[in-house]
Amino acid sequence: MDIVVNEELKAYIDPLTSEECEALERSILAEGCRDALVLWGDVLVDGHNRYGICRKHGLPFQTVQNTRFQSIEDVHLWMIDQHLGRRSISDFQRGVLALRKREIVAERRARIAAAPAEPAAQVPDVSTGRADTSAPFDTREALAKAARLSSNQVVLIEKIQKQAAPELVAAVKAGTISINAAAAVATLPADEQVAAATAGKDELKQAAKRVREAKRKPRSESAESEETLESLQQRVAALTAENAALRQQVAGLEELLQRAGSTQEIADLSAPF
């Protein structure tokens, strides 16, 4: 049969690096294509690199049909689960795949909820063929568990996806910059991100450092302001107390003056004419 290569499916998962492709090619040349290519009808779902290498060298290969696929979403979910289970992909790639799965599952559940004619319908688990009764990917913890990451890493990866320029994303995928540092650089304007990514690893580190220092500075100024406010409040309280004491002293003096005035009047009255 003629195998159809769907370019969208081929690009759905990040491609292997040149080093990984060379290692795979050496393995296939030495041992043959041991794993069967997965097809959906005549469409190639899994094994694009193996298929390309086998065709290049005229090597035989096996194929297997996955009859549980009912839609392109099923294919996408299966591809994501296959790659999430592999150790060779990076933390960033696992986070991106988990976020994709969340979107697919959420959209599918929304469609099911909007279809009252089929209240018993459930999201199919394309890996087993059974209905998926697991909790949806609507929490940070569920995403982190699926991607084998921390909740904080998931948040940072989602931030990079939403805010990072393509050049910065490429740097993360290449391992030029860490997820944590990339999330910091992603808060900069797009042109600054591109400039830092183009300049290379050292400039990316410096850019991340500048962002972190800028975030710490307002906190320092805020603490100083709080300290100044507290000092002013203490000064006001002291002045208020001092003012009250002075008022008491003034009141006492006025009373003494009044008494002195009364005594003088009495003395004047009792004096002989």
- Per 3-state DSSP, the chain is made up of helix, strand and coil in percentages (nearest 5) of 65, 5, 30
Left, alpha or beta for 47 (phi > 0: left; psi -120 to 50: alpha)?
left
pLDDT value at residue 128: 45
Kindly indicate whether the domain formed by 1-67 is annotated with CATH number 3.90.1530: yes
CB 84 within 8 A of CB 143: no
Tell me the β-bridge partners of 132.
123
User: What does the pLDDT look like over 129-170, one tens digit per residue?
Assistant: 433 434 556 678 888 888 889 999 999 999 999 999 999 999
- For the chain, give me the number of helices (H) and strands (E)? 11, 5
Q: Which two tokens stand for residue 98?
A: 């988990």
Give the whole-angstrom CA distance, residue 266 versus residue 257.
Answer: 14
CB 220 within 8 A of CB 194: no
Torsion angle defined by CA atoms of residues 57, 60, 65 and 66, in that order, rounded to the nearest 10 degrees: -60
User: What does the pLDDT look like over 22-80, one tens digit per residue?
Assistant: 999 999 999 999 999 999 999 999 999 999 999 999 999 999 999 999 999 999 999 99
User: What does the pLDDT look like over 85-135, one tens digit per residue?
Assistant: 887 789 999 999 999 999 998 888 888 888 776 544 444 454 444 334 345
pTM over 0.85: no
> Is 117 in a helix, a strand, or coil?
coil
DSSP run (H or E) holding 38: strand 37-40
DSSP run (H or E) holding 65: strand 63-65
pLDDT value at residue 166: 94
pLDDT value at residue 240: 82
Q: How many residues does the chain have?
A: 273
Based on the number of CB atoms within 10 Å of its own CB, is 27 exposed (0-12), middle (13-18) or buried (19 or more)? middle
pLDDT band (50, 70, 90) for residue 176? very high
Torsion angle defined by CA atoms of residues 148, 152, 155 and 157, in that order, rounded to the nearest 10 degrees: -60
